[in-house]
Amino acid sequence: MDSAAVMATAVFFFLVVAVHGDHPQVSAMFIFGDSLIDNGNNNYITTLAKANFFPYGIDFEGGRPTGRFSNGMTTADVLGKLLGMPPSPAYADPSTKGVSVLNGVNYASGAAGILDETGTNLLGRVTFNEQITNFENTLKDITSQLGSAAAVEHYLSKSIFAITFGSNDYINNYLVPAFYSTSITYTLETFSDLLISQFSQQILRLYELGARKFAVAAVGPLGCIPSQLAMANNALNEGSNCVESVNQEAALFNSKLRYLLRFLEINLPGARFVYGDAYSAVTDIIKNPTSYGFSVTKQGCCGIGINNGLITCLPGVLIPCPNRSQYVFWDAFHPTEAVNIILATKAYNGSLNDASPINVKQLAQL
């Protein structure tokens, strides 16, 4: 992507938001995932995975921390804006009830994974299975408001279920042998099979609850995040931007995820799936940063140690970089808002190289 294409992406995003901001393209947007799209659920639990302090949110509306693991918007925030939807409230917020749930709810939780055990090294988190249970609770609220089973069925069929999972099952499970035995119990092949099997059951559970339109994000190139580079002591390795062995693990999972979504679409009547290829998108950004307007690919904007990846942002301690829009990574694990805008825009309106077999905009029109 050249600079003109990058500018076009930015212009497209702001134009779509301006035109569709008051014109929702779907009934609701229900969000399930991890810290990449958590908008504050972890604020309400005892966990080491928190982002409700400065400098998180420095570029968000009002320059305030909200619990988002970013300097600004997450991909879910951006995608919601592109779909013309108001922000989905955090499920754990006590005010998320009644009419406030009708446009959708965000259930995502930092450190959460496909596997229930994932993230226990960071204490509390809301697993994917628990997030689905929380959606069941929301569904009771929705049913009481819409009044009939037919109305609820139609409403859910016109809603999008956005799902981002898998990263923590590697970086806060398989790749942390001091806390987990999975790397001993499973090979890379069998561990990816375990994840896909569990994920399949979780999608089926959502389908049985009425979900029909799914937007599922691939796991990104985990070997490129500052924390993995720091652990590999890769800061001065000019020959490679990433830890390729870790990237291969993510790529293996993604290949099976893509196949699973095709299989489910064939076998679940009425279900449609979008596979958002975040892996390829972030890889291209890292390989061709200047084409996207970035200049720093190996280092987090906020952090401590090699690549600013050994310790992530701490409250009241660290001052983030001033040129945040030039950084691919915000902290040791998460991309900047600038990257999130690119990823969400590709998923919404991208080609088959970005989202397949259709993009989110086309999914919303079905």
Report pTM: 0.94
**Strand (E) positions, 287-346?**
296-300, 327-329
Q: What does residue 67 show for φ and ψ, rounded to 5 degrees? A: 110, -5
Task: Output the average pLDDT for the chain.
Answer: 93
Q: At how many degrees (to 10) do helices 188-208 and 244-267 cross?
A: 40
Q: What is the mean pLDDT of residues 265-281?
A: 98
Mean pLDDT, to the nearest integer, of 115-136?
98
Distance CA 321, CA 307 (A): 13
- What's the angle, vertex CA 11, arms to CA 61 and CA 226, rounded to 5? 60
Q: What is the pLDDT of residue 314?
A: 87
pLDDT at 54 over 70: yes
Q: Name which of 163, 165, 169 is nearest 120 in CA terms.
A: 169
CB count, 10 Å around CB of 148?
A: 9
Q: Give the active site residues.
A: 35, 331, 334
The mean per-residue pLDDT over the stretch 338-342 comes to 98
Q: What is the pLDDT of residue 319?
A: 83
Burial of 22 (0-12, 13-18, 19+ CB in 10 A): exposed
For range 132-149, the mean pLDDT: 96
* Range 247-273 average pLDDT: 98
